[in-house]
Each structure stands twice: as C-alpha cells, then as structure tokens.
C-alpha cells in the first residue's frame, strides 16, 4: 500500500474534528504511510499541529489565494500534494467542501472514487469501504481498484487522539482559479431558536400535508411547553420555513425530549438531533433508521398516536 493523504479542513481557525476522524481512518488502514495536507492562508501553526497529532508528514499550501475555500484552488493543491506524496489513497471529509472538490480530484486523476464512507480498509489492489445508501436504509460494501479518492462521513468514527512526528513541507502550486469566492452569508436570526427548547416535537415527510403541522404537531409541542421542528423534506417542500429545520444544514439541537413523528431518520437529520437526552420516534416503518437513535419507539400511524398523546399530556397537567 502506498501513502494515504489526509486532507484537513479548517473551520473557525481550527482543524475540524472530522479531519482527525480521517486521520483515525487512515491510521487504521494496514500498511499505509499517513501524510497530511493543510490548505489555507497563514496556516503554518495548524499544519504543525496536524503533523504532530497523527497526520505525520504534512504538506502545506499556504497562499493568500487559499484564504477562503475555492474549488479550483483546492483541486490544484490536492493534486499537487497527491503527486508530491505519491498518494495511493486521498481521504477527504464528506462536508460541503468535500463533496464540492473530492469528485473533481478523482476525475482529474482518472482514479476510483467513493463517498460518505463509514469505514475504510486495505483491499485487494485497492481499498474496501462501507457506505450508507438509500438514506441509511441499506449499507453497501464497495471495493476500489488502484489509486482512490474517498470521502468519509463526519461522526462515523472517533477522532484520532495519538501523536505523530512528521514535520511539514511547504508546497507551491499554480492556484489560478476560474471560480471566485465572494462572501459567506451567515444564517439570519429569526424568532425560531430550537436550540433553547427543552422539548421539540418534529414532523417529517410522513406528516404528509402542510396543514397537519399546525393541526397535529404544534399542539403536542404546545402541550409539552416545547417547540415544533421539522426534517429537511418538509422545509424543501415549502411546508415550513428553514428556521424549523433540524439537521446538519439546519439547527443542531439537544433538548431534554425530542419527539420525531413521521421522520425516517436520514443521516442529515440524525446529526442534528441524536445528542438529545431522550428521543421518542413514531413511524409506521419498523425499519426506519430513526429507531436506531431513539430511546423509545412506537411503530404506528402518527395520526393515531400524536393527537392521543396531546390529549393525555394536557389531561396529566390537569
């Protein structure tokens, strides 16, 4: 096996936890030498940190052109590092950065690609991965042949906590870009702040009708003194506004009680609520992935359970 190049991602001035999960994945692959790559502007210290915390020899593309993420800059920097390190496997996190750039690298190098993996291992002439498909309802075992680019699902494995002694090496590359970064717009503040609620009752696609949110979901949230949330398909369909969205691209919540009604449990949603203290899932499909993160599950029609629960909660309050 050749070198495994681990591409770090910087968020709010620090190397992301997900990048150390990549290090753990790389360190867990037998026979591969691990190298790191840090891309940014003024990132010498972060590269030293990455090199000493498991990434081993770390290449640094430190350039004003890389101050903000840019698909072309990253694409060129990763290709340059892949060449310098003779990488056989390139690992990138499956984040908005990863899914933007990783497939481009694979196409540019004409090599194997797989994405959003939850495990990685050395294979026969390539690498073996496990990834989730159909929104987590099924798993797939995937093999690659030859050089490989893979993205790993953030949170799928524990971050590496050991040390390494690799040192850093500055890498210069032609970073001319077609795409141009303009700005980051942060989410606008709205009246809906689910992160402060003790109880959240969220509805998903299973609610089936926008009118059922005020009729069925909100009353239970009200009875419990909590807030109403939703999964992404509900917001995408325009049934509720984005501030109600719980998940990786919405709000990350951890209330005392989270009730998921008619939500199957796509990973994007689970990321946003699995830290809740107590999770109740109500879904007709006994195989729905939501039951894997729930403490208590009810396999039934939410329209039978939720209104009855609302009534019982109101009655219990007297």
DSSP for residue 217: I
**Residue 112 engages other proteins in binding (rule: CB under 8 A):** yes
**Residue 83 engages other proteins in binding (rule: CB under 8 A):** no
- With contacts defined by CB under 8 A, name the span among 34-42, 56-64, 126-134, 208-216 that binds other proteins: 126-134
Distance between CA atoms of 51 and 63, rounded to whole angstroms? Answer: 19
Residue with token string 């915390």: 53
Rounded to whole angstroms, what are the CA distances from 209 to 168, 205, 233, 235? 56, 8, 12, 12
Residue with token string 């990973």: 267
- With contacts defined by CB under 8 A, name the span among 1-9, 38-46, 56-64, 172-180 that binds other proteins: 172-180
Between residue 22 and residue 41, which ones bind other proteins under the rule CB under 8 A? none
Which of 27, 52, 119, 143 is in the footprint of other proteins by CB under 8 A? Answer: 143
**Residue 104 engages other proteins in binding (rule: CB under 8 A):** yes
What tokens appear for 145 in the block?
A: 């042949």
**Residue 224 engages other proteins in binding (rule: CB under 8 A):** yes
**Residue 299 engages other proteins in binding (rule: CB under 8 A):** yes
Question: Measured from the CB of residue 121, what is the shortest distance to other proteins in angstroms?
Answer: 13
Contact 76, 174 (CB under 8 A): yes
Which of 178, 191, 196, 209 is in the footprint of other proteins by CB under 8 A? Answer: 178
Distance between CA atoms of 162 and 286, rounded to whole angstroms? Answer: 40
Which of 15, 43, 279, 302 is in the footprint of other proteins by CB under 8 A? Answer: 279
- With contacts defined by CB under 8 A, name the span among 33-41, 163-171, 209-217, 242-250 that binds other proteins: 242-250
Question: Measured from the CB of residue 252, what is the shortest distance to other proteins in angstroms?
Answer: 7
Question: Measured from the CB of residue 18, what is the shortest distance to other proteins in angstroms?
Answer: 11
Contact 59, 37 (CB under 8 A): yes
Give the binding-site size for other proteins (rule: CB under 8 A): 97
Q: Give whichever of 59 and 113 is closer to other proteins, judged by the CB atom.
A: 113
**Residue 185 engages other proteins in binding (rule: CB under 8 A):** yes
Question: Measured from the CB of residue 266, what is the shortest distance to other proteins in angstroms?
Answer: 9
Sheet of 58-62: strand order equals 127-133, 112-122, 148-152, 87-93, 3-7, 33-40, 58-62, 168-170
Contact 256, 199 (CB under 8 A): yes
Cα 255-155-38 angle, rounded to 5 deg: 125
């Amino acid at each position: 096996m050749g070198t495994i190049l681990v591409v770090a991602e910087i968020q709010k001035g620090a190397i992301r936890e997900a990048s150390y999960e990549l290090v753990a994945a790389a360190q867990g692959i037998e026979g591969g030498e691990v190298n790191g790559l840090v891309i940014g502007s003024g990132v010498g210290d972060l590269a030293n940190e990455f090199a000493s915390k498991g990434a081993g020899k770390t290449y640094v593309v430190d350039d004003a052109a890389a101050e903000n993420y840019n698909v072309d800059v990253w694409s060129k920097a990763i290709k340059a590092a892949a060449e310098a390190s003779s990488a056989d496997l390139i690992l990138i996190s499956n984040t908005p950065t990863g899914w933007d750039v990783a497939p481009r690298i694979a196409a540019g190098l004409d090599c194997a690609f797989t994405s959003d993996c939850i495990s990685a291992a050395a294979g026969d002439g390539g690498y073996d991965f496990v990834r989730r498909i159909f929104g987590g309802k099924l798993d797939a075992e995937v093999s690659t042949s030859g050089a490989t680019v893979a993205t790993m699902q953030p949170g799928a494995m524990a971050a590496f906590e050991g040390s390494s002694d690799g040192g850093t090496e500055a890498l210069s590359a032609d970073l001319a870009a077609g795409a141009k970064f303009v700005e980051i717009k942060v989410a606008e503040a709205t009246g809906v702040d689910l992160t402060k609620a003790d109880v959240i009752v969220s509805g998903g696609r299973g609610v089936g009708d926008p009118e059922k949110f005020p009729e069925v979901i909100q009353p239970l949230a009200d009875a419990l003194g909590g807030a109403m949330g939703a999964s992404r398909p509900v917001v995408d369909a325009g049934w509720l506004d984005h501030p109600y969205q719980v998940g990786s691209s919405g709000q990350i919540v951890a209330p005392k009680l989270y009730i998921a009604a008619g939500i199957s449990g796509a990973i994007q949603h689970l990321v946003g609520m699995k830290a809740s203290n107590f999770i109740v899932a109500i879904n007709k499909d006994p195989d729905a992935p939501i039951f894997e993160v729930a403490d208590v599950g009810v396999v039934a029609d939410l329209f039978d359970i939720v209104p009855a629960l609302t009534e019982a909660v109101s009655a219990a309050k007297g």
